[in-house]
């Protein structure tokens, strides 16, 4: 046990972290877990019919880039990169561990996770991770098929 | 919008197993399976053979990270050796251009449910029918693939490259599936060693695959059409009855006289001669061919109508005058007028309409 990161210190850190995310900032997102077993892939590693578990609501600290627009002949195409920071203990309670390919619903848009980081360690202790930080990009609803398409 | 014209006689259902086109997925799968099963060798790591995984490039993120998660360690670092391939381009093979909508490649299936055992077909002399499947000519294309190999050691890379080199200019595929000729021209070898990065041996090359593409349907019509071959072919005699285009009239062979006679049919109004006679002028009476004697009904050589009333052959006789080209009809007036159902005078009159059809030639 290190001298300056005792159990009491770590618990204090965890509770502050949790309070900050759940009670102070209190921004809610919905997490959708991809069901790999039901999402059959073809040769190209694509699934035309993805299936997700029912959404789970939780709180997160959100860091948004500005919405960007690109023009590639199809007219304006919006995009946004968002970083969601979750409290690890809260996610443990909800039974959700975010992975690449899962979807987060926030601010009327769906964001697909393309990177998951657990690099923040309390006191540098490898067993004392307190955050899960995921990088996401705004995905097309036509790709994830969570809603009926309107044409 | 006009309704499309269809000929339902040609709308034969094609069984599902014969409707298969050749799709890009088929080509990619054939190439991938041949690489996995035939080309890619096992490499030795710590005395154990390791089969090198093959991936298609740039799969969906989740598929790479989670479905193929066994290729990565707990922290997500990819474990090598690995081979990745992806399709870069499709180029039309102009040397094999075809009129696609006109040319078809026929294939036959000798068994057909239409062929039932029956003695009737033996009597008729008819043979079994074949099911014919006319497959539209596909589009011949050259598909270009990029292949990238990652290994940790040059010795591993050598064994992989040697196998690919030996596999070039071969037909990649399976005996009961598709086969496509594949060519590899050169290999680009790189050894990457840099500060802060891992040493990697990388080889990349492109493959040119001669392939073909055929959709299952185009414009709502299947590219495979089905038909049945005839059970019996009957050769008959064809004649051109208009006459003079043949320089040699014997083209009719031995039935020439019969055919000529059967084709004769004259129709003309007779000219009033007297109270019981009328004549056809400027006509010729043909001779009954020898072959038709006894079978042709000479009683009905002519059909005579007086004022629209059919006169039976018993009510007249005729003679042919070959000098003046006339046929003189003499009527038995008693019989003629017995057939009438109207009040009629006892003799023919000049205004009576006497129409005659039958075997005479109008000159």
Query: Nearest-CA distance from A23 to chain B in Å?
Result: 32
Could A46 and B29 be called an inter-chain contact, meaning their C-beta atoms sit closer than 8 Å?
no
Contacts of B8 (CB under 8 A, 6+ apart): none
Residue A3 to residue A124: CA distance in whole angstroms: 12
Chain A residues with CB inside 8 Å of B64's CB?
45
Q: Examine the pLDDT at A145 and tell me if it is beyond 60.
A: yes
- Nearest chain A Cα to B33, which residue? A43
Residue B168's pLDDT is what? 95
The pLDDT of residue B86:
93
Give B124→chain A minimum CA distance, Å.
Answer: 55
Stretch B316-344: mean pLDDT: 78
Give CA separation, A52 vs A33, B5, B203, in Å: 5, 47, 38
Q: Is the ipTM of this complex over 0.85?
A: no
Both tokens assigned to B133: 């499947």
Cβ–Cβ gap A44/B62 under 8 Å: no
Host H or E run for residue B303? strand B302-306
CA distances from B200 to B71, B149, B161 (A): 16, 10, 15
pLDDT at B338: 65
Rounded distance between C-alpha atoms, residue B205 and residue B203, angstroms: 7
User: Do residues B81 and B160 make contact, with C-beta atoms less than 8 angstroms apart?
Assistant: yes
The pLDDT of residue B178 is above 90: yes
Higher pLDDT, B314 or B338: B314
Mean pLDDT confidence for A89-116: 92
DSSP collapsed to 3 states, A53-94: CCCEEEECEEEECCCEEEECCCCEEEECEEEEEEEHHHHHHH
pLDDT band at B250 (very low <50, low <70, confident <90, very high): low
Q: Which of A38, A84, A41 shows the shortest CA–CA distance to A65?
A: A84
**Do the Cβ atoms of B62 and A42 come within 8 Å?**
no
Query: Are B40 and B230 contacting, i.e. CB atoms less than 8 angstroms apart?
Result: no
Q: What is the mean pLDDT of residues B78-102?
A: 88
* β-strand pairing of B48-51 with B54-56: unpaired
DSSP B108-157: EES--TT----HHHHHHT-----EEEEEEPPEEEEEEEEEEEEES-HHHH
Range list of H helices, B264-363: 333-339
A124 vs A147: which has the higher pLDDT? A124
**Average pLDDT in the A82-110 region?**
92
Query: Alpha-carbon torsion A30, A31, A35, A41, what sign?
Result: positive
Is residue B345's pLDDT more than 60?
A: no
Neighbours of A39 (CB within 10 A): 20
- What is the rounded average pLDDT of the residues B35-49? 90
- The answer to whether the peptide bond before residue B81 is cis (omega within 30 degrees of 0) is yes
Least confident of A19-23, B278-282, B330-334: B330-334
Q: Averaged over B131-135, what is the pLDDT?
A: 89
Q: Which residues in chain B have Cβ-Cβ distances shorter than 8 Å to A102?
A: 62
Q: What is the DSSP letter of A52?
A: B
Q: What confidence category does residue A147 fall into, taking pLDDT thresholds of 50, 70 and 90?
A: confident
B218 in reach of chain A (CB within 8 A): no
Q: Which residues does chain A have within 8 Å of residue B60's beta carbon, measured at their own beta carbons?
A: 41, 45-47, 101
Measure the CA–CA gap between A111 and A123, rounded to whole angstroms. 31
Give the containing element (helix H, strand E) for A136: strand A131-138
Query: Could you give the CA distance from residue B186 to residue B203 in angstroms, rounded to a whole number?
Result: 10
Please, where are the H alpha helices in B240-293? Answer: 256-263
Asked whether A96 and A58 are in contact (CB, 8 A), the reply is: yes
- Per-residue pLDDT averaged across B89-95, rounded? 92
Contacts for B104 with CB less than 8 Å, ≥ 6 apart: B134, B135, B136, B137, B225
B169 touches chain A (CB under 8 A): no
**B153-165 per-position pLDDT tens digit:** 999 999 999 999 9
Residue-averaged pLDDT of chain B: 85
Residue B328 has pLDDT above 80, yes or no: yes
| SS3 of residue B315 by DSSP | helix
Q: Enter the tokens of residue B179.
A: 């086969």
Asked whether B272 and B330 are in contact (CB, 8 A), the reply is: no
pLDDT at B298: 85
**How far is it, in rounded angstroms, from Cα B360 to Cα B363?**
9
Question: Which residues in chain B touch residue A112, judged by CB atoms under 8 angstroms apart?
Answer: 61
Q: pLDDT-based confidence at A134, cuts 50/70/90?
A: very high
Going by pLDDT thresholds of 50, 70 and 90, the confidence category of residue B246 is low
Torsion of CA B9, B10, B11, B14, to 10 degrees: 130
In our burial notation (b when 16+ CB lie closer than 10 A, e otherwise), range A77-116 reads eeebbbbbbbbbebbeeeebebbbbbbbbbeebbbbbbeb
B214 Cα to chain A: minimum distance (Å): 19
Beta-carbon separation of B66 and A36 below 8 A:
yes
In this prediction, what percent of chain B has a pLDDT beyond 70? 92
> What's the rounded mean pLDDT across residues B196-201?
85
Question: Would you state the pLDDT for residue B308?
Answer: 83
Question: What confidence tier does B23 reach under pLDDT thresholds 50, 70, 90?
Answer: very high
- Which pLDDT score is estimated for B54? 92
Q: Are B322 and B268 in contact (CB under 8 A)?
A: no
Chain-centre distance for alpha carbon B137 = 12
pLDDT 10s digits, A40-79: 888 888 888 888 999 999 999 999 999 998 888 888 889 9
Tokens of B254: 């031995």
The band of A23, judged by pLDDT with boundaries at 50, 70 and 90, is confident
Q: Which residues of A touch B63 (CB under 8 A)?
A: 41, 45-47, 101
Distance CA B315, CA B301 (A): 13
For residue B205, pLDDT beyond 90: yes
């Amino acid at each position: 046990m290190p001298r300056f990161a005792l159990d009491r210190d770590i618990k204090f850190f965890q509770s502050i972290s949790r309070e900050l995310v759940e009670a102070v900032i209190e921004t809610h997102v919905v997490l959708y877990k991809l069901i790999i077993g039901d999402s059959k892939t073809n040769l190209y590693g694509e699934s035309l019919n993805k299936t997700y578990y029912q959404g789970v609501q939780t709180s997160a600290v959100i860091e948004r880039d500005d919405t960007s627009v690109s023009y590639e002949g199809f007219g304006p195409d919006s995009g946004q990169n968002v970083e969601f920071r979750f409290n690890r203990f809260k996610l443990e309670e909800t039974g959700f561990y975010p992975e690449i390919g899962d979807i987060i619903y926030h601010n009327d848009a769906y964001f697909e996770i393309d990177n998951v980081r657990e690099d923040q360690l309390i006191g540098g202790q490898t067993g004392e991770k307190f955050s899960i930080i995921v990088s996401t990009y705004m995905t097309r609803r036509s790709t994830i098929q969570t809603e009926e398409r309107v044409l | 919008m006009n309704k499309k014209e269809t000929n339902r006689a040609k709308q034969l259902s094609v069984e599902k197993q014969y409707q298969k086109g050749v799709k890009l997925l088929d080509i990619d799968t054939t190439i991938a399976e041949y690489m996995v099963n035939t080309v890619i060798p096992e490499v030795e790591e710590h005395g154990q053979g390791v089969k090198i995984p093959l991936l298609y490039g740039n799969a969906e993120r989740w598929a790479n990270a989670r479905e193929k998660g066994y290729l990565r360690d707990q922290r997500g670092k990819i474990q090598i050796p690995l081979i990745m391939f992806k399709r870069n381009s499709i180029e039309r093979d102009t040397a094999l251009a075809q009129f696609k909508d006109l040319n078809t490649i026929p294939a036959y299936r000798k068994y057909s449910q239409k062929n039932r055992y029956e003695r009737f077909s033996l009597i008729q002399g008819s043979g079994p029918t074949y099911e014919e499947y006319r497959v539209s000519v596909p589009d011949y294309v050259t598909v270009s693939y990029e292949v990238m190999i990652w290994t940790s050691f040059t010795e591993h890379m050598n064994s992989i490259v040697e196998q690919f080199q030996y596999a070039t200019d071969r037909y990649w595929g399976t005996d009961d599936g598709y086969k496509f000729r594949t060519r590899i021209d050169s290999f680009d070898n790189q050894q990457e060693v840099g500060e802060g990065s891992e040493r990697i041996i990388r080889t990349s090359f492109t493959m040119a695959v001669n392939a073909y593409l055929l959709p299952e349907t185009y414009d709502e019509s299947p590219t495979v059409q089905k038909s049945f071959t005839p059970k019996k072919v009957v050769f008959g005699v064809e004649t051109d009855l208009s006459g003079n285009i043949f320089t040699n009239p014997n083209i009719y062979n031995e039935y020439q006289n019969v055919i000529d006679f059967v084709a004769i049919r004259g129709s003309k109004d007779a000219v009033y001669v007297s109270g019981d006679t009328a004549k056809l002028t400027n006509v010729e009476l043909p001779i009954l061919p020898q072959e038709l004697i006894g079978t042709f009904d000479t009683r009905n050589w002519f059909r005579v109508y007086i004022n629209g009333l059919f006169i039976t052959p018993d009510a007249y006789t005729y003679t042919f005058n070959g000098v003046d080209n006339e046929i003189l009809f003499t009527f038995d007036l008693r019989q003629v007028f017995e057939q009438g159902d109207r009040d009629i005078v006892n003799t023919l009159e000049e205004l009576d309409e006497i129409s005659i059809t039958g075997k005479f030639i109008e000159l």
